[in-house]
Amino acid sequence: MSLATDRDKLQSADKPTLYKQIRIDIERRILTGEWPPGHRIPFEHELMSRYGCSRMTVSKALSELAQADLIERRRKAGTFVRRPTFLSAVLKIADIRAEIGALGRSYGYELIQCSRRTANAADRARLGARKTGKVIAIACRHSADDVPFAIEDRLIDLDAVPEAAAADFATEPPGSWLLHHVPWTEAEHSISAVVADEQAAAALDIAIGAPCLVIDRHTWRSARPLTAVRLLYPGESHKLIARFKGG
């Protein structure tokens, strides 16, 4: 009878490091359904002898899977395949300039209106801030190859983002500026559909009553509102790539 462990099989396959191979091996069993949700994964000691390595190594593999929400580890009980309650995916939203650039189209930007004012009740409600001093209100238009791509209506809390006072939004779109200068901790997106009113239709060069996609994004840093933005896209498809976690 052989003393060979699965380690040989994995090692012979190719290069990646051992813990990564263990991770991939377990991931495979979960994704193929061999180990369905709720299934108890072998104890670390069993995996140690199965793969012929130390506990730290299998633990590292399991930790990464746990961080990726694929498994759940419970002391004394063991490690279990998580029951998916959500289609969990990583959503990456580029800022519009980068997005248009990635499409190989020329980016155009036009500042329509930019004003600084003391926040009124509507501004505070929109930002979700109880009290605020000054805000910047911006309206602008993004275009790709000189065709209107989206219009943007944004409010920035100047107390939370004082650096914004010095930014030149006539030349740099506020989304890009914020993305590269202002760290954030939470964001919430609300996606909906509307039909273009007269104003939006004129700005986007589409018919009144044409469908538009709306993305409302609120951004916070440690629960403090930073900015609220509404983006209006002509109804043509706007793509979001969502991949299973764990590269």
In terms of phi and psi (left: phi > 0; alpha: psi -120 to 50; beta: otherwise), the region of 131 is beta
Rule CB under 7 A: is residue 83 a binding residue for DNA? no
Rule CB under 7 A: is residue 10 a binding residue for DNA? no
Residues 115 and 88: their CA atoms lie apart, in Å, by 39
Rule CB under 7 A: is residue 218 a binding residue for DNA? no
Contacts of 120 (CB under 8 A, 6+ apart): none
Residues 247 and 245: their CA atoms lie apart, in Å, by 6
Q: Which is nearer to a second copy, 60 or 119 (CB)?
A: 60
Rule CB under 8 A: is residue 208 a binding residue for a second copy? no
**Residue numbers 46-75 binding a second copy by CB under 8 A:** 64, 67
**Residue numbers 21-80 binding DNA by CB under 7 A:** 41, 43-45, 52-57, 59-60, 62-63, 66, 73-79
Q: Is the distance from CB of 153 to CB of 139 less than 8 angstroms?
A: yes
Residue from 186, 197, 202, 208 in contact with a second copy (CB under 8 A):
186
SS3 105: coil
Choose from a second copy, DNA, none: what does 45 bind? Cβ within 5-8 Å by kind: DNA
Which strand (E) or helix (H) includes residue 147? strand 147-157
Residues 185 and 180: their CA atoms lie apart, in Å, by 14
Q: Which residues bind DNA (CB under 7 A)?
A: 17-20, 41, 43-45, 52-57, 59-60, 62-63, 66, 73-79
Q: Which residues bind a second copy (CB under 8 A)?
A: 30-33, 37, 64, 67, 83-95, 98, 179-180, 182-195, 209-214, 216-217, 221-222, 233, 235-245
